[in-house]
Amino acid sequence: MEIRIKYFEGAVRLKKIAKGNWIDVYANKDMFIKEGERAMIPLGFALELPKGYEAHLAPRSSTFKTWGIIQTNSVGVVDDTYIGDNDQWHMPVFCLQGKDLNEDVKGTFIKSGDKIGQFRTMEVMGDIELLEVDSFGNEDRGGFGTTGKK
């Protein structure tokens, strides 16, 4: 599959990681995010996703450990209509644990080029019809959080 990409000034060029099914994304701006505050980190690119595809944007496993930030919407979903020339991707984050000081203010520095997230493309869910029933006729598993318990 080929996907057209437009880069904004100073953006790191993207490539699929060798081990895995995700593409790393990079901050495209130097920022200081105060502890307890949120920010939208520009990622420096726009994509033209093919019809019928969406992208899932998530933090890397090291994002919190390195910068003390979490993605505010857990996983971002970008659909195939967000394809304009100025539809730059951003990563919404919250600074939960500042790692740096800036003029005696605790927070975290994000530098342009920092590898802060990742995304993958997925086919969108096909058409479904929800059929309302009174019972499934199946055995209950035990509720949320029951797998792996002895």
Span 15-73, pLDDT tens digits: 887 888 899 999 999 999 999 999 999 999 999 999 999 999 999 999 999 999 999 98
Which pLDDT score, from 0 to 100, does residue 19 have?
A: 80
Read off the pLDDT of each residue in 137-143 and give the average, rounded to a whole number. Answer: 82
Instruction: Supply the DSSP string of 59-127, one letter for each residue.
Output: E-TTHHHHH-EEETTSSEEE-TT---TT---EEEEEESS--EEETTEEEEEE-TT-EEEEEEEEEPPPP
Residue 149: pLDDT band (50, 70, 90) is: low
Residue 147 reports pLDDT greater than 80? no
Q: Give pLDDT, residue 8.
A: 97
Q: What is the CATH superfamily name and number for domain 4-123?
A: Deoxyuridine triphosphatase (dUTPase) (2.70.40.10)
**pTM of this prediction?**
0.84
State the pLDDT at residue 28: 98
Element of type H or E holding 25: strand 23-26
Q: How confident is the model at residue 114 (pLDDT cuts 50, 70, 90)?
A: very high
Contact (Cβ atoms closer than 8 angstroms) between residue 3 and residue 46? no
Using an 8 Å Cβ cutoff, are 68 and 42 in contact?
A: no
Please, what is the average pLDDT of the chain?
Answer: 92
- Residues with Cβ < 8 Å from 106, sequence gap 6 or more? 34, 35, 98, 100
Catalytic entry in 24, 30, 79, 85:
79
To the query of whether residue 80 is one of the catalytic residues in this protein, the response is no
Could you tell me what percent of the chain has a pLDDT over 90?
Answer: 82
Question: What pLDDT, on the 0 to 100 scale, is given for residue 21?
Answer: 87
**In terms of Cα–Cα distance, which of 82, 91, 95 is closest to 24?**
91
pLDDT band at 106 (very low <50, low <70, confident <90, very high): very high
DSSP 145: T
Exposed / middle / buried, residue 147 (Cβ in 10 Å: 0-12, 13-18, 19+): exposed
Q: In which band, very low, low, confident or very high, does the pLDDT at 94 lie, cut at 50, 70 and 90?
A: very high
